[in-house]
């Protein structure tokens, strides 16, 4: 995947307003908005009391930050295409590079904003005849439900705004630092392609990649089972999404993808939904649930980490 190294400055810091009245369920405070961080910017913070997510509607609807208390998990790099979490349409061959500006850079319209939900929509990309939307909701823990930490569930939508049928798949790209961490998902190591690009270890029922560095960019693809996890610095980030069946991925793409930028800069955790034929006016919807869980520090693959993931996704 091509990358341009033009320098840009990621705008300022986020000002968070005081905590509002606590919710009865689980003692989590209601969400609160963040003040704009630049002229014309609409920036929002969704929080469940322990985990907070910052979204900049004015800059491609990007997720700029995901923190457990004051501990950040997303890349905060100031280089373009190297920070936060974004959303593209797949396959990439339809637009090549750079990312489609209407989806990745331009301002999204705020459709709905409440204590636990933010709905935003992109401009229409006339070249592709598509628009995208992001519906971000906080889900609080349920007694007897998944895990102990709340989720942020993002429901992405892609709408065919053109006059002809169009096939497309949803694609989430989340950038994390390339520090001392582990990336893992369920897939046979020998099925990860292209072979030999990155070193994966198969153990404890998962394929594991221990972060490293190299002088070139690298990317692998895999047919997973509906989840992708990243562990570093005592935090476990779990992504849960639909498990694709054979033949459902976009041409040349895959359900799970890991991109490692050259050097020791950042890594992209990528997942894709089903390749879908949309008639004019039709839209697809695809959801990804994010969990951020504090875990005792570990440097090697372990059955414990897999078990924690399974507690949330099964």
Q: Please, which residues bridge with residue 33 across strands?
A: 44
Is this prediction's pTM over 0.85?
Answer: yes
Cα 239–Cα 243–Cα 249 angle in degrees, nearest 5: 105
What separation, in Å, do the N-terminal and C-terminal C-alpha atoms of the chain show? 33
Q: In 10 A of CB 219, how many CB atoms?
A: 15
CA separation for the pair 59, 101 (Å, rounded): 10
Which pLDDT band, with edges at 50, 70 and 90, does 297 fall under? Answer: confident
What six digits make up the tokens of 303?
């059955």
For 252-266, what is each residue's pLDDT tens digit? 999 999 999 999 999
For residues 141-176, b (16+ Cβ closer than 10 Å) or e, as one string?
Answer: beeeebbebbbbbbbbbbbbbbeeebebbbbbbbbb
Structure confidence by residue, pLDDT tens digits, 10-66: 222 222 222 222 222 233 333 334 334 445 689 999 998 889 999 999 999 999 999
Q: Rounded to 5 degrees, what angle do the CA atoms 28, 308, 117 make? A: 35
DSSP class of residue 100 equals -
Please report the pLDDT score of residue 40 as a whole number.
Answer: 67
Question: What is the predicted pLDDT for the residue at 25?
Answer: 28
Residue 2 has pLDDT above 50, yes or no: no
**Are 290 and 235 within 8 A, CB to CB?**
no
Average pLDDT over residues 137-143: 75
> When comparing pLDDT for 9 and 191, which is higher?
191
Cβ count near 71 (within 10 Å) = 13
Q: Convert the pLDDT of each residue in 36-47 to its tens digit.
A: 444 568 999 999
């Amino acid at each position: 995947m091509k990358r341009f190294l033009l320098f840009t400055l990621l705008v300022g810091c986020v000002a968070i307003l005081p905590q509002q009245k606590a919710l009865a369920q689980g003692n989590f405070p209601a969400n609160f908005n963040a003040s704009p961080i630049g002229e014309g910017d609409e920036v929002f913070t969704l929080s469940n009391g322990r985990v907070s997510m910052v979204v900049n509607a004015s800059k491609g609807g990007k997720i700029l930050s995901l923190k457990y208390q004051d501990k950040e998990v997303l890349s905060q790099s100031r280089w373009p295409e190297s920070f936060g979490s974004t959303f593209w349409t797949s396959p990439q061959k339809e637009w090549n590079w750079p990312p489609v500006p209407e989806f990745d850079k331009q301002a999204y319209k705020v459709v709905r904003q409440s204590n636990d939900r933010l709905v935003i929509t992109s401009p229409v990309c006339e070249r592709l005849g598509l628009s995208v939307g992001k519906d971000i909701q906080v889900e609080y823990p349920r007694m007897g439900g998944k895990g102990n930490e709340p989720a942020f569930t993002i429901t992405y939508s892609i709408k065919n705004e053109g006059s002809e049928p169009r096939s497309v798949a949803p694609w989430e790209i989340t950038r994390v630092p390339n520090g001392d961490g582990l990336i893992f998902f369920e897939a046979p190591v020998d099925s990860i392609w292209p072979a030999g690009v990155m070193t994966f270890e198969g153990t404890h029922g998962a394929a594991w990649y221990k972060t490293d560095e190299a002088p070139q960019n690298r990317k692998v693809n895999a047919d997973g089972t509906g989840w992708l996890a990243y562990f570093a610095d005592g935090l476990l980030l779990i992504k849960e999404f639909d498990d694709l069946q054979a033949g459902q991925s976009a041409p040349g793409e895959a359900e799970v993808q890991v991109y490692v930028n050259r050097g020791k800069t950042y890594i992209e955790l990528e997942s894709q939904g089903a390749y879908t034929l949309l008639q004019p006016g039709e839209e697809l919807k695809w959801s990804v649930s994010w969990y951020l869980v504090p875990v005792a520090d570990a440097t090697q693959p372990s059955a414990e980490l897999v078990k924690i993931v399974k507690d949330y996704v099964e």
